[in-house]
A and B are shown apart, each in its own frame.
Chain A
Amino acid sequence: MNLTLKIWRQKGPKDKGQMVDYQVSDISEHMSFLEMMDVLNEELIARGEEPVAFDHDCREGICGMCSMFINGEAHGPDRGITTCQLHMRMFKDGDTITIEPFRAKAFPVIKDLVVDRSSFDRIQHAGGYISVNTSGNTQDANALPIAKEAADKAMDAATCIGCGACVATCKNASAMLFVGAKVSQYALLPQGQVEAADRVLAMVNQMDEEGFGNCTNTGACEIECPKGISLENIARMNSEFLKASLKG
């Protein structure tokens, strides 16, 4: 395949940035999208130009690091995947592909396609944990049976990879799906109950402080989420939040 790529280039956080056109040729349909980017970068290096900076690590859809906005969609076309899992068979010869960073006020651009998602970490610092000493002096794991359904649901919420596609895709740049998933995981498990109210209040508070927008129930986040995190989690967070606020 021969393709035209329109890529956002931005030297640093303070640079203005602009779209730049590149041509790539002989792209195999078996390549992953990131492998296609590697090919482009090798060509740029050979020409003495600076390669395009992008975030990636595991290249198997689990670390949540890769974060491109492709043809107007977080992680590109195809559902339930991250950019590293996107394959070139989704495109055809002669296509023009637009590649941009995840854009949101709470995700400032560091360079080219790399953005700073540490706001997600700060939300977790605010309360994304169960306060238990890591000494190993905990009760036997089977002393507290947990219904399979609750464990499975908690697991579903816990599979969020913190990629930020939900934020990038939302017209309000809301982080509700991410935070909802985190809150849900603990809300569904008996271990998390004691501090449930404090947790949800602190996390939601921090989310607002980081400059994420509000949820207007558009549902785009759920569609673009690579891990199928459902809107149900936002509802659960809202009800947990309400419960906690009434208590307080």
Chain B
Amino acid sequence: MAILDSKVPQGVPLKDKWTTYKDKINLVNPANKRLIDVIVVGTGLAGGSASATLAELGYNVKAFAYQDSPRRAHSIAAQGGINAAKNYQGDGDSFYRLFYDTVKGGDYRSREANVYRLAEVSANIIDQCVAQGVPFARDYGGLLDNRSFGGVLVSRTFYAKGQTGQQLLLGAYSAMNRQIARGKIEMFNRHEMLDIVIVDGKARGIIARNLVTGEIERHSAHAVVIASGGYGNVYFLSTNAMGSNATAAWKIHKKGAFFANPCYTQIHPTCIPRSGDYQSKLTLMSESLRNDGRIWVPKKMEDVLAIREGKLKPTQIEEEDRDYYLERRYPAFGNLVPRDVASRAAKERCDAGYGVNATGEAVYLDFKSAIERYGKEQAKIQGISNASKERITELGEKIVEAKYGNLFQMYEKIVDEDPYKTPMMIYPATHYTMGGIWVDYNLMTTIPGCYAIGEANFSDHGANRLGASALMQGLADGYFVLPYTIGDYLADDIRTGKISTDTKEFDEAEKSVRERIDFFINNKGEHSVDYYHKKLGKIMWEKCGMSRNEEGLKTAMSEIKALREDFWKNVTVPGGKDEMNPELEKAGRVADFLELGELFAKDALERNESCGGHFREESVELDGMQKGEAKRDDENYAYVAAWEYKGEPGDAVLHKEELEFKDIELKQRSYK
């Protein structure tokens, strides 16, 4: 049995671990770095920042992305912001507090030492991005502005309007451009990694398909970094970009990388509700809206019905007839409770029949009081006495527009309603995956020389991810962590020389990739790839979604297996293989999701506790202050579930990394 060694430095206090570690690792001499190649799969925030920094250090980087430009990676879509413990606001923030909030928010299922390191380097990220010209929001004094995000009590989130991910990614992309121009990064756009190549037990290359010509290519390197993002699209409908997929992560899993906590998915509370069968994806409304928006449903069932029938407008419902259920249930955090809590509470109200749209799956997010509050404040600032109600609204709307304008516009385009005048409708949707490839403190997977960073790994978020922390983790891994830890490994490779692609390992990997493609092209089945993806998504959402139970999970496992078998018999992929063929690309990705989905259900079944993003119906607090809330079981489940591939996903073997909390006391998570 493989042993999971987290490699967390021992014998030093938490706050000194990273510094001590850096002092002790092996370094590669700059002249020798030129002799070393590194492959980076993915050019989102994690892969983009890693590529740029590794190239800056002197390594030869080959970067791959399935889009036509690194600038289009899924990270571009992140809206709300990025956390950093700068304490610019003087509201009591510190490394420790960011660390504490993150561990608590993750329901004590993340690795303490990784999270502390993340908090520590967070401040550097902001300095770095500002130096690169990222136009973060500023106040009138010219200093950086902050906002707060769900699950915390300080303002530590840096933002660039509602386009923070875009600006951070463009920053990383510009750093990449500089290295591309210098010839230190070779960029492979419209290329998809389809397998990893392992030589003498070490990751030494990949097989990729050129998505324009269909050519199958071999690429070798001394190390391979997987930065391919998350697997939320296993649900078919999610807030992820359409092309986001699990293929790179799944392929390395099949060759020895353990997959950790696959069942940890974040269901985000503020998305635009789904409408019809044709729908291809869900749209997120940034959580930052919860800073100013209040969430409610009507108190009276007759109001709910009248609204659904279109006889009543939400604006006509009196204050006392509204149930601001988050403020009612969680007075300390109110609308700013963490995502899992907000999502479950919305589902609870809708399951109880109070949903406000036709499908009964929507609650209101209302800006009326914020507009009024800001309007009055502005009237004062501008010295307008006796401002009329209309004038106050106008002034208030301006402020709200400055803060969230693009989000409001996006909502209006999709729903065809003006959110300044009438409350938005929102509902939870699959958003982010906290599970992923298991990595040690070095961010190395269980395959030597293969690393995983960003959303593709599992390490920092535990069972729930707080807002604005994914961007932070992606950039921390790419700019500041991996560039050190990978050097420690590569120091042994300075005499290895170029890795040949003319070996039996490359032959074999290429052969299996080709066989699979040939199968798809030649199989004359009767159903499209999307047909299967949608069916898989339905099973996942219904049985492995926000709440789960033993029976449902067992059924899910067998249903997914049966669906997978049918897929391999009856799928059809039109077009050829030696050309651009989007259906062929999708087929490979969905085939992988059909395996991952089953492991997901298996992991959820095994974890008989409610924690973070997932609610196990059998595990709920029965009495006391927390009655009805999720019940975590630290005695039996304070571990990382790392799965080893053994053929069928159902046969995967579980390895446990017990989690230690030396600096934090495990407490019940209360936001009351």
**Bound CA–CA A42/B586 (angstroms):** 13
Residues of B within 8 A of A35 (CB): 278-280
Residues of A within 8 A of B133 (CB): 129-130, 154, 185-186, 189, 191-192
Residues of B within 8 A of A192 (CB): 133
Cβ of A110 and Cβ of B241 under 8 Å apart? no
Cβ of A53 and Cβ of B77 under 8 Å apart? no
Residues of B within 8 A of A60 (CB): 77, 281, 283-284, 410
Cβ of B160 and Cβ of A155 under 8 Å apart? yes
Q: Which one, A69-77, A98-106, A118-126, A240-248, is touching chain B?
A: A118-126
B625 part of interface (Cβ distance < 8 Å): no
Residues of B within 8 A of A87 (CB): 413-414, 416
**Bound CA–CA A30/B124 (angstroms):** 44
Cβ of A148 and Cβ of B138 under 8 Å apart? yes
List A39-87 residues whose CB lies under 8 Å from chain B: 39, 42, 44-46, 48-51, 53, 55-65, 80-81, 85, 87
List B83-110 residues whose CB lies under 8 Å from chain A: 86, 88
Q: Which of B174, B189, B241 contacts A63 (CB 8 A)?
A: B241
Cβ of B180 and Cβ of A125 under 8 Å apart? yes
Cβ of A111 and Cβ of B579 under 8 Å apart? yes
B31 part of interface (Cβ distance < 8 Å): no
A34 part of interface (Cβ distance < 8 Å): yes
Interface centre among B160, B414, B582 (most CB of A within 10 A): B582
Q: Which of B86, B181, B189, B276 contacts A125 (CB 8 A)?
A: B181
Shortest CB–CB separation between residue A45 and chain B, in angstroms? 5
A213 part of interface (Cβ distance < 8 Å): no
Residues of B within 8 A of A130 (CB): 131-133, 174
Cβ of A141 and Cβ of B144 under 8 Å apart? yes
B177 part of interface (Cβ distance < 8 Å): yes
Q: Which one, A132-140, A165-173, A229-237, is touching chain B?
A: A132-140
**Bound CA–CA A121/B140 (angstroms):** 34
Cβ of B528 and Cβ of A46 under 8 Å apart? yes
Shortest CB–CB separation between residue A168 and chain B, in angstroms? 15
Residues of A within 8 A of B163 (CB): 62, 159
B67 part of interface (Cβ distance < 8 Å): yes
List A184-224 residues whose CB lies under 8 Å from chain B: 185-186, 189, 191-192
Residues of B within 8 A of A151 (CB): 135-138, 142
Q: Is the interface of A mostly helix, strand, loop or mixed?
A: loop
Mask: chain B, 135-171; 1 = CB below 8 Å from A; 0 = not: 1111111111000000000000000110100110010
Shortest CB–CB separation between residue A186 and chain B, in angstroms? 6
Cβ of B56 and Cβ of A58 under 8 Å apart? no
**Bound CA–CA A131/B179 (angstroms):** 10
Give the total of A residues in contact with B, Cβ under 8 Å.
79
**Bound CA–CA A111/B583 (angstroms):** 13
Shortest CB–CB separation between residue A52 and chain B, in angstroms? 9
Interface size range of chain B in the complex: 35 or more
Cβ of B530 and Cβ of A42 under 8 Å apart? yes
B264 part of interface (Cβ distance < 8 Å): no
Residues of A within 8 A of B140 (CB): 148
Shortest CB–CB separation between residue B235 and chain A, in angstroms? 15
Residues of A within 8 A of B126 (CB): 141
Cβ of A63 and Cβ of B77 under 8 Å apart? yes
Cβ of A134 and Cβ of B479 under 8 Å apart? yes
A28 part of interface (Cβ distance < 8 Å): yes
Q: Which one, B68-76, B297-305, B421-429, B457-465, is touching chain A?
A: B68-76
B497 part of interface (Cβ distance < 8 Å): no
B53 part of interface (Cβ distance < 8 Å): yes
B275 part of interface (Cβ distance < 8 Å): yes
B242 part of interface (Cβ distance < 8 Å): yes
B32 part of interface (Cβ distance < 8 Å): no
A12 part of interface (Cβ distance < 8 Å): yes
Cβ of A42 and Cβ of B528 under 8 Å apart? yes
Chain A residue nearest to B413 (CB atoms) is: A85
Cβ of B574 and Cβ of A48 under 8 Å apart? yes
A6 part of interface (Cβ distance < 8 Å): no
Residues of B within 8 A of A85 (CB): 410, 413-414
When A45-B528, A159-B166 are in contact, do A63 and B142 touch as well, CB less than 8 Å?
no
Q: Which of B68, B131, B579 contacts A55 (CB 8 A)?
A: B68
Cβ of A39 and Cβ of B167 under 8 Å apart? no
Residues of A within 8 A of B56 (CB): 133-135
Residues of B within 8 A of A142 (CB): 88, 143-144
Shortest CB–CB separation between residue B44 and chain A, in angstroms? 11
Shortest CB–CB separation between residue A131 and chain B, in angstroms? 6
Shortest CB–CB separation between residue B186 and chain A, in angstroms? 12
When A45-B528, A117-B68, A118-B69 are in contact, do A128 and B177 touch as well, CB less than 8 Å?
yes
B514 part of interface (Cβ distance < 8 Å): no
Residues of B within 8 A of A134 (CB): 49, 52-53, 56, 128, 132, 175, 479
**Bound CA–CA A35/B86 (angstroms):** 43
Known: A39-B278, A141-B129, A146-B142. 18 other contacts (CB 8 A): A12-B579, A35-B278, A44-B574, A59-B242, A59-B280, A62-B77, A80-B409, A85-B414, A110-B212, A118-B68, A121-B69, A125-B177, A129-B178, A142-B143, A148-B138, A151-B135, A151-B137, A162-B69
Q: Tell me the B residues contacting A by CB distance below 8 Å.
A: 49, 52-53, 56, 67-69, 71-72, 74, 76-77, 86, 88, 121, 124-133, 135-144, 160-161, 163, 166-167, 170, 173-175, 177-178, 180-181, 187, 189, 212, 241-243, 275-276, 278-281, 283-284, 409-410, 413-414, 416, 479-480, 528, 530, 572, 574-575, 579-583
27 A-B contacts (beta carbon < 8 Å):
A35-B279, A44-B574, A46-B528, A50-B575, A51-B583, A57-B241, A59-B241, A59-B242, A60-B281, A62-B163, A64-B71, A121-B69, A121-B71, A130-B133, A131-B178, A136-B127, A138-B127, A144-B130, A145-B141, A154-B133, A154-B135, A155-B135, A159-B166, A161-B166, A186-B133, A189-B133, A191-B133
7 shortest interchain CB distances as A-B pairs? A145-B142, A129-B174, A141-B130, A155-B135, A138-B131, A136-B124, A154-B135
Q: Tell me the A residues contacting B by CB distance below 8 Å.
A: 11-12, 28, 30-32, 34-35, 38-39, 42, 44-46, 48-51, 53, 55-65, 80-81, 85, 87, 89, 110-111, 114, 116-118, 120-121, 124-136, 138-142, 144-148, 151-152, 154-155, 158-159, 161-162, 185-186, 189, 191-192
